[in-house]
Chain A
Amino acid sequence: MMLLLIGLAAGAHGLGLLSPAILSFVDPAMPVALVALGTLLGLRVRIRRPGGWRARAAASTGALATMAVVFGGIVFVVPEWGAGGSLPYWFLPLAVAIGAASSAADEVLPVVAGGVALALLREPSPMGALLLLLQACGVAVVIAAAWWLLLTKSRSETEQRIFTIATLLLLGGVADYLSLSALLSGLVAGICLDLAGGPARDFVRRDILHVQHPLLALVLVVTGARVEPAYPWLGLAAAYLGLAFAGDAAGRWLAARLADMRLPAGDVTLLSPGGVLGIAFALNVLRAAGPDAAPALTVVAIGAIGVELIAAMSGRREAALA
């Protein structure tokens, strides 16, 4: 939260230290940061959770429910949001809904949903979008294979780090170039590396964890700087906050019913406090969809700040992290 607020204070609507010119300078680093997040996610996908597949299915259902509640609520509250611009009417509400669902116990489904959404944005036809998505995943697999080849016989930590940075840049660059989801590219690459196993997986994990924190900090500060605190968006953010909580509650209830157990709050071991994934996705949307998607980023960012504040006050965050 602090970093978001720092970005907000330093951004164009605050002190102006992070002007649009400076932000455009750091923009190329954003996809890389998102790919790194996605890769970490992919490396963790096969880790068995308490409750097994039932818990996983329940978590996914919960995330879907959250998305549905938030999406439906936003469309109901602001049916014409995004209409008239270059984006389809459903895109911004969906982006925001995916952002809300990213705080849920299932992190994978929102990433996949986000990837599909961005593909549909680029290729309106479902088949075209599917083909594009498959090609993007194919490219990610090819790059992951190159990554594995490089790391398995690498000799030194310097070399491993260079290979990891290079591959993250390639993956992020591909997603950026195609205006698709960098999180999804990273997820696919991470899953491939996890399946391949061996020392390559450990090296990647080590090096990404090493750069993760500064990259995350950069993501949050840049997001804060790009927030446009106009009254309509603040109002929408408040609505989003309420819908996010409602969606989260609905998702948990549904998941608990399905799995007949209490879901954990989500393993936040590797990621920063809950909501970063949502923010990361919103930033991805902004890069891919252009300035028309800026309100989505604003809503998600302010919503995240709100969630943090409320959670801090209620002590829920400590319990969730414990």
Chain B
Amino acid sequence: MRRFAALLLAIVAVIWVRQIGTSPAMASAGTALALGFTLLGAWVAGDLLRRFHLPRLTGYLLFGLVAGPYLGNVITQSMAEQLQVISGIATTLIALIAGLSLNVERLGRRLRPIAWFTATTLAVTMGGLFALAWLAWPWLGISSDASGLPKLAMALLLVVIVMSFSPTMTAAVTAETGARGRLSELVLTVVVIADLALLVLFSLAMQLARATLGAGAGEVSVLVRFAWEIGGAAAFGALAGSLFALYMRYVGREVTLALIVLCGVLSQVGTLQEFEPLLAALAAGLVIENFASAQGDALKAAVQRGAPPILLIFFVAVGTSLQLDALAVVGGLAVVVAAARLAVIRAGVAAGLRVSGIDREPGRHAWTGLISQAGITLGFGTIVAATFPGWGGELQLLLVALIALHELVGPVAFRHGLAEAGELAGQAERPLIVVSNREPYLHSYNGDGHVTAKPATGGVAVALDALMRERGGTWIAHGAGPADREVVDESDKVAVPPGLPSYALRRLWLEEPAFSAYYGGFANEGLWPLCHMVDVRPRFRTEDWAAYEAINVRFAAAIHEEAGADVAPIFIQDYHLARVAPALRARRPDARTALFWHIPWPYPDRLRICPWRREILEGLLANDLLAFQLERDRRNFLLAVEEELGAEVDLESSRVRFRGRHSTVVSVPIGVDYDRIQAIAAEPDLAAEQGRLIRMFGLRADVIGVGVDRLDYTKGIPERLAALDLLLTRRPDLRGRLTFVQIGVPSRSELASYGAIEAEIGRAVDALNARHTAPGGPPLVRYHTAPLTIRSLVALYRLAHVCVVSSLHDGMNLVAKEFVAARDDEDGVLVLSELAGAAHELQDALIINPYDVDGFAGALMRAIDMPRDERHARMRAMRRVVAGRDVFRWASDILEGLESLWTKPLHYSVRGTEDAPV
């Protein structure tokens, strides 16, 4: 309703302005008005049709038709003419987009079959159409009494022109729908090659017609002129593309303006209607994509941002230019000719598929992209009408009617074909393959000896599990549960979730000592401390690296087996699996993989500590999409690949080119399962759980603080305890009034550094309690080392006045977000380390530096004394952030980035300045 109200207001404004009256100093006054109204009205029309499951672009076309000079005249004839000017630029932009999507390396292998397909299709269609035209000649209304050679010549011309296609429409539909895949590539290549061939045939037919009908004596051969102009257009386009690529590389400023200038220049190329500008722009796009790929990616991103309004205007301009009066005169005949054309095209495509050997799927939908006709057909008709004034005019009228029909029907049909072929952006999703070290369900024995399945805790596992339930597919992980082997089948798979299976869990059995060397050794004694700026030295051993490589290869082999013939997207998790992609790509070059690096990425100098850093970097770059939590991590990584590998990095488009491959590197902060936490928070019996926790922890104090961590040296727990110590020293009145609940779940205890931190924390807690516990009062710190379920955690968060996250370095830290999500009462204070990734988003928390004990203690004091209004305002602001980016959106953004055609710059703005590389 709002949109219609807005459109109504816009109409009121336009009418009001027209009533006031114009006093144009320049002839072009009114262009901007026409454009603005067109954009708005067409978008609303497209939106309306979408609700009826019709394509948007039909809405654009119909809007142009209804509002245009032939019907509504809201867009007057002069405005429509000005739209055509913009349409010229749009044509070149569309062709540029098409050129940017044609990769010669990828196409090269298929060019021969496509050429055969095109030739066969054309031969069959033209043969069929010629036969029909010959037989039905008396009823065509074009010099019906012609016979012999003149009839032959006219029929040939008719057939060539009627068979012509519209590369512009094809490219426009592809661009507007965001389609990607073999069908869109096939159709675009076919129409360009076919139209080139038809240009040659047209000129030959014109020569024959002139010779037999005695017209145009003494003119330069049309063929020579065409060859000159077309060759020249392509060469000019290639030159323009090269110059533009150089400009992007060495200047790189005002890209949008330069693009408009490029399109403006290209649109003026040649005289043959739209074909020469189209060829020139296509050539420019081809050159940029294939010889200056980093610049091509940056240009694609710029075009992606600016293309939608241009495409919209293009389709509206097409709508306004449809000559309905022609349809009124020869509409019936045009429908018959169109039907005949469609029939022979379908027959031609079927024959073409058989001869060329192109896959029947999706080739059988190619006919849908061969319906549209536009400027080229019109151009041919204009030439014939000018050369043969009598019957040429009759032919032109028929062509105009045909074009009107095909411009209305063609885009809709092609879009349908793309949808059938599964190539539309945002189409029904394919099954996924998720790969992680940790499995989503662990099978173990309960007290009775029965096997039970326990779901993994943690936001990431929960989100990916939900995603897999929706998409289906396979999750590949290390089987670590005591009873895991009991439940799998002969291919080591089990259907999960238990009770309502919707995907398969394929387990890898990673035996000792390889597993310890890979997981405990390389991953957690090497990579983990390398990537975290804490006072623990990374340890790298050759045998650990060998095990890491070997196990990553095993994961890759498992993916290869599970993927089968499909091209399913593959989503790899975290630092344990950095070498999976190259091993997989050796088996399946066409695999589409994304890897999310959950932990921080070190700055280049620190990275050099790792002897196998280059192998790690190469492994990561073997992914199509690589995602980090923060912009800082992304930048550090890009610096590293540039310095260590000499990779070509384009910061603007986030693309890296290395050894002939492209990878997109983005930052996508992870979120929590916000809705689930809300649902738990709203449960009526949560209060009972809170009561249980109160009794369990003996919570009698006025003020309750909470910290929830894995026992890890990166979490800053000793620093937290030191701050608590200082707080109670300064505020002895808090003794007995404050209780801090520290949930500390042991993790990787077999590793020396972890064992040491666990011991240190235990000692610190004891000392703190000894110092600050009031006689007969509750201990200051309640230290609990068993994990809590998400339900208990939510209950605990809602009891707490203060939540403390004091990480010394953390990729994100989901506890901070979970606390915020749990507080639908908009109360509670979050004290958050600035060294945790979450601090970039949750700037309304009390931000502390855990190394500044004094400041830390001050913040705790402030949190305890904070007035209610301030607590509410801060929590409200943080909840907006957390709700806006939950874990499902994180997962779908990454997968969308992996599955979409275009480079999708996934930059998420967070408040505050971006920090320099660590």
Contacts and interface: CB of A to CB of B under 8 A. Distances in A.
Nearest to A138: B16
A166 B36 contact: yes
B309 interface: yes
Contacts of A176: 24, 26, 29-33
Nearest to B34: A173
B3 A142 contact: no
B308 A150 contact: no
B30 A173 contact: yes
B256 interface: yes
Given A142-B12, A143-B10, A290 B257 contact: no
Given A150-B3, A169-B33, A290-B25, 9 more contacts: A135-B16, A143-B10, A146-B6, A162-B308, A163-B40, A169-B35, A170-B40, A174-B17, A178-B23
Given A27-B26, A174-B17, A169 B39 contact: yes
A149 B6 contact: yes
B43 interface: yes
Contacts of A145: 6, 9
Contacts of B85: 25
Interface string B13-28: 1101100101111111
Which 9 residue pairs spanning A and B have beta carbons closest together? A173-B33, A169-B36, A173-B32, A170-B36, A166-B39, A146-B9, A28-B31, A290-B25, A146-B6
B29 A139 contact: no
Contact of B32 (A32, A179, A290): A32
A216 to B, nearest CB: 10
Interface string A112-145: 0000000000100000000010011011001101
Interface stretch (A100-108, A151-159, A309-317): A151-159
Contacts of A150: 2-3, 6, 40
Interface in B219-265: 254, 256-257, 260, 264
A19 to B, nearest CB: 12
Given A142-B12, A142-B13, A169-B39, A161 B28 contact: no
Contacts of B20: 132, 135-136, 178
A24 B12 contact: no
A289 B25 contact: yes
Interface in B291-310: 305, 308-309
Nearest to B41: A166
Contacts of A152: 2
B217 interface: no
Contact of B23 (A25, A122, A213, A214): A122
A123 B104 CA distance: 61
A64 interface: no
Contacts of B37: 166, 170, 173
Contacts of B257: 214, 217-218
Contact of B25 (A22, A158, A168, A287): A287
Point out which of A149, A173, A178 has the most chain B C-beta atoms below 10 A from its C-beta: A173
A173 B43 contact: no
Interface in A172-200: 172-174, 176-179
A288 interface: yes
16 contacts: A27-B28, A146-B7, A146-B13, A146-B40, A147-B6, A153-B2, A166-B40, A170-B13, A173-B33, A173-B35, A173-B37, A176-B26, A176-B30, A179-B24, A179-B25, A213-B254
Interface SS of chain A: helix
B901 to A, nearest CB: 15
Interface string B73-88: 0000000001001000
Contacts of B256: 211, 214
A31 interface: yes
B28 A24 contact: yes
B308 A161 contact: yes
B5 A149 contact: yes
Interface in B794-837: none
B28 A165 contact: no
Interface in B483-501: none
Contacts of A22: 264
A167 interface: yes
Interface size class of A (residues with CB under 8 A): 35 or more
B43 A166 contact: yes
A29 B13 CA distance: 20
Contacts of A170: 10, 13-14, 32-33, 36-37, 40
B33 A149 contact: no
A132 B12 CA distance: 17
Interface in B58-112: 82, 85
B3 A173 contact: no
B735 to A, nearest CB: 46
Contact of A179 (B2, B23, B40, B312): B23
Nearest to A292: B25
B48 to A, nearest CB: 14
Contacts of A166: 35-37, 39-40, 43, 309
A221 to B, nearest CB: 8
Given A25-B85, A142-B16, A178 B10 contact: no
A133 B717 CA distance: 67
A28 B25 CA distance: 12
Contact of B39 (A139, A162, A171, A290): A162
B32 A31 contact: yes
A146 B10 contact: yes
Nearest to A169: B36
A209 to B, nearest CB: 12
Interface string A3-45: 0000000000000000000101101110110000000000000
B33 A177 contact: yes
A24 B31 CA distance: 12
Contacts of B24: 176-177, 179
A178 B18 CA distance: 9
Nearest to B82: A28
A250 B341 CA distance: 78
A9 B66 CA distance: 45
A166 B63 CA distance: 15
Contacts of A171: 36
Contacts of B40: 146, 150, 163, 166-167, 170
Contacts of B2: 149-150, 152-153
Greatest chain B CB density within 10 A among A149, A152, A288 is at: A149
Nearest to A29: B32
A24 B13 contact: no
Contacts of B14: 170
B29 A177 contact: yes
Contacts of A163: 40, 43
A88 B693 CA distance: 85
Given A28-B32, A169-B35, A170-B36, A177 B22 contact: yes
A153 B36 CA distance: 20
Contacts of A214: 254, 256-257, 260
Contacts of A146: 5-7, 9-10, 13, 40
A174 B309 CA distance: 20
